[in-house]
Amino acid sequence: MNHPDLLDSLADLLDRLDPPPPHLVARAQAALAERRAAQLSRLLTDSAHTTPTGMRGTDHVRTLRFTDLDLHLEPTATGLHVTGRARTGTHAVAHWPGGTRTGHIDPAGWFHLEDVPPGPVRFVLHRDGHPDLATRWFVA
């Protein structure tokens, strides 16, 4: 038995003994399709990794810079207030498990989103006539 045959047999065994829940399969397929449809915007800097601990006034606000997008995440009583500056796109969408929030990008490139929950999130810039640009998932 060669490696591909062995892997196929193992996959069949796992599918029979412990199949994944149908909703999980659907969500994984949707996430993969979404990821394939968007180009990746590379992370350049993240204040969570560059700001020295104990600095005054910087311990609650986080800034991230991607190749096509700058983000300023500020905690509020109801979630995160996001101020963004996009270098391309018409709409910015924050995605998190179980929800999304969309904001219009003004002619200068600015957008604002309210009540984005802390936790796993990714941002997608929608561009007319071009593939979307997306950040990787990160914990906000």
At 68, which helix (H) or strand (E)? none
At 108, which helix (H) or strand (E)? none
Which residues of the chain are modeled with pLDDT < 70?
1, 28-36, 51-59
What pLDDT does 56 receive?
56
d(CA 36, CA 30): 10
- The DSSP 8-state label assigned to residue 119 in this structure reads S
| Per-residue pLDDT tens digits for 73-113 | 999 999 999 999 999 999 999 999 999 999 999 999 999 99
Q: Which amino acid is at 66?
A: F
Inter-residue long-range contacts of 15-23, CB under 8 Å, 24+ positions, other chains counted? none
What pLDDT does 58 receive?
46
The residue written with tokens 């007319």 in the block is 128
Domains of the chain: 1-38 (no CATH), 41-139 (2.60.40)
pTM beyond cutoff 0.85 = no
Coil, strand or helix: which one is 121?
strand
Cα-based distances in Å from 62 to 3, 10, 25, 126, 128: 46, 44, 34, 23, 29
d(CA 114, CA 75): 10
What pLDDT does 63 receive?
97
